[in-house]
Structures are given as C-alpha cells and as structure tokens.
Chain A
Amino acid sequence: MEPELSSIVPQPPDKSKIWIIWKVAIILGIVTGLEFVVALQLPENFSAFKIWIFIGMTFIKAGYIIGEFMHLAHEQKTLMWTIMIPTVFVLWLIAALFIQADSIYNAIY
C-alpha cells in the first residue's frame, strides 16, 4: 500500500540536531582558517613542523566529516570497524613507496 501523499505531515525540525550540524561546520571552517594562518604566517624554518601540523589538522577535519557528516560514528561499531580497518593498507603503501622513492633519489643525486 502506498501512503496517501496528502496524509504525510513533515515532523518539526529538531533544533539540537541542526545545531550540531552547524557546530561541526564551524569547526571545519575554523580548522581550515588555521591552516591558512600556519601556511602563511609561521616562519619558514619551521617547515617540517608545519607539515605535521597540516597532517594533524587534515585528520581532525577527516574525522569530523566521516564521523558526523557521514554518520559513521553513530553506526554499529562492527560497521565502523569494517570501514576503518582496511585503510591500514594505505599506511603500508606509504611506507613501501617512500622507501622506494628514497632509494631512487639516492641513486640519482
């Protein structure tokens, strides 16, 4: 049975839920803003330190997007780990290829 269209009444919005969405948006905006400050204001001799700040901030943003916007933090824990655990293979790829790149660099220069 298809529901009668006229019988569907939208429920009123839940203010607290919508506030959480905007709160996450504000956090993402602030972190991106901070990245700019770090990129353009910190003195140059901090470049290695800068890279780790950028990577840390990226993972903060990724955590909010995946956890809140994609709702993964509120799904079943089994589902969450099924999605998250395979990404460790990326770490292996990073390690393998960067060791390779180091060898190529040393062979050329």
Chain B
Amino acid sequence: MENSVSIKSDQNSLWQGGVEPFKASYGKLMMWFFLISDAFTFSAFLIAYGVIRYRHPAFEGMVDNFSFSQVYWPIPEKVFDAAPLLHGVELPLVFVGIMTFILILSSVTMVLAVEAGHRMDRAGVEKWMIWTIIGGVAFLSCQAWEWSHFIDGTDDGSKLLDGSIFYGANLEINQYGPPNFAAFFFFITGFHGFHVFSGIAINFLIFYQATVGILERRGHYEMVEKTGLYWHFVDLVWVFVFTFFYLI
C-alpha cells in the first residue's frame, strides 16, 4: 500500500467527528434553525402589511380630525384606543402597551427559570415556569378582549362607501378602513397569538416534566432552555408587531 494516499488522522480536525464547532446540543441548534424559518414567515407577514398599506393613500389631515373611512388607511392609535371597563374613554395604545409589558415580563421570568435550571434548582424552575405560564395566559386573555372589541366595533360605527353604516370588522369588511386592514390584523396578531398559545402548551409540558422530576433524573434542565428560546422568540415577534402594526 505504498502508493495509496494516506489520510492524516488529526484529532483536531473539524471533519473527523467528535468535536462540536457550535458548542451547542442538537436540540438547541434545531430550535434555532426552526426559529430562523419562523422569523422569515413573520417577516413576510409584516412586509406584506407594509406593502399593502403603502399602496393605499394615507390620511392627509391632522390626527385630531381623523375619522374612519374606507378611502385611506387608518391611523393605528385611533383604532386601538379602548381599554376594558373604561368605555368611551380615549386611551390610545394604552391597552396594547400593557400587553407588551406582560409579554416582556413573562420573558424575564423565563430567563430566571433557565437560570434556576443551570443551578439544578427544581423549586426555582417550577416557580418561574408557572409565572411564565401565567404571563402567557394573561397576554392571550388581553388579546381575546382586544379581538372581541375590534370585531364588535365602536358605538357609532362608520359610513361605508355605499352610504350604509357598519359596525366592527370581519374578514371582508370593516368600519376602520380598507378591507385589508382588518384582514391583516386578524392574520398577524392571530398567527402570533397562536404561537403564544402553543408556547404556553409547551411551557406547561416542560413545567410538568420538571414537577414530576423527569428533568432532574435526566441530570440537566436543557429542555427549559429550548422552550425558553421559543418563548423569547414569541416575545421578539411581538416587539416587531407592536412597532410595525400599532406604532407606525
């Protein structure tokens, strides 16, 4: 075998196996790759929103004189200005701001759960996971209220192009602006809300596994880290939805 090419077996080579170039486990890497694809999906939603919005005329006058019309795109702070139990009080973006704080806080408790997991602190993981789940449920409840308010509409409704009065919104027509406005509201916040829902389900599963000691017997709490990545991503998406749908 004098003439054959000898392959140098170098233990340090990346291609020989047995090394971890990313120093991350399989599950964590796959979660990251899934999150990239999910980020593309949400980007497509938000960019499509931007495109459809800018192919409609904007409202030209002062914000105070704004009224709903199907001719131009509505100003978001004039649409989302209600809060539960405060009927008729104009509170632009206050309720959606509270929702944002709830989601950020539940992200914080998630990091604290991951931190407790690193220390093998089962009680800590349980405590912070349950707070995270409560935060998620609170956010979803707020969103349910906002959806129902959006669908029911305001007291006065608004006049459509054919002269009839319409209250609230559905997928085909709405009192706030062009039909696509409500369609995008339902699709973007709905898709995000479904992510929150599945995040709560996964968090609950991991909480259960921690509670009965499965993760402790496994010797590490990496599952908390993985579900944490997903939960932070849901928060991250909301930060973008908040800016591009509600603020701008």
Residues in A lying within 8 Å of B, measured CB to CB:
2-3, 5, 8-13, 17-18, 21-22, 24-25, 28-29, 32, 35-36, 39-40, 44, 50-51, 54-55, 57-58, 61-62, 65-66, 68-70, 75-76, 78-79, 82-83, 86-87, 89-90, 93-94, 97-98, 100-102, 104-105, 108-109
Of chain B, the residue at the smallest CB distance from A13 is: B119
User: Is the beta-carbon distance between A21 and B23 smaller than 8 angstroms?
Assistant: no
Q: Mark B27-63, 1 if CB is under 8 A from A, else 0.
A: 0010010001001100110011011101101000011
By the criterion CB–CB under 8 Å, are B240 and A93 in contact? no
Sort chain B's interface into a size bin: 35 or more
The prevalent SS among residues of B at the interface is helix
- Summarize A's interface: helix, strand, loop or mixed: helix
0/1 per residue, B184-206, Cβ < 8 Å to A?
Answer: 00000000000000000000000
Residue of chain A at shortest CB distance from B213: A5
Q: How far is the CB of A79 from chain B (nearest CB, A)?
A: 4
Known contacts: A29-B104, A62-B240, A75-B23. The answer to whether A83 contacts B36 by CB under 8 A is yes
Contact A10 B236 (CB under 8 A): no
**Chain A residues closer than 8 Å to B105, beta-carbon distance:** 25
Looking at B1-9, B120-128, B136-144, B164-172, the stretch in contact with chain A turns out to be: B120-128
From B50, which residue of chain A is reached at the shortest CB distance?
Answer: A98
Select from chain A the residue with minimum beta-carbon distance to B39: A87
Q: A5-B216, A65-B239, A86-B36 are in contact. Are A35 and B247 (CB under 8 A)?
A: yes
B232 CB to closest chain A CB (Å) equals 5
Name the contact of A54 in the complex, choosing from B40, B77, B236, B247 (C-beta under 8 A). Answer: B247
- How far does the Cβ of A62 sit from chain B's closest Cβ, in whole Å? 6
Is B48 in contact with A97, judged by CB distance below 8 angstroms? yes
A57, B242: Cα distance in complex, Å:
11
CB-defined contacts of A3 to chain B, threshold 8 Å: 217, 219
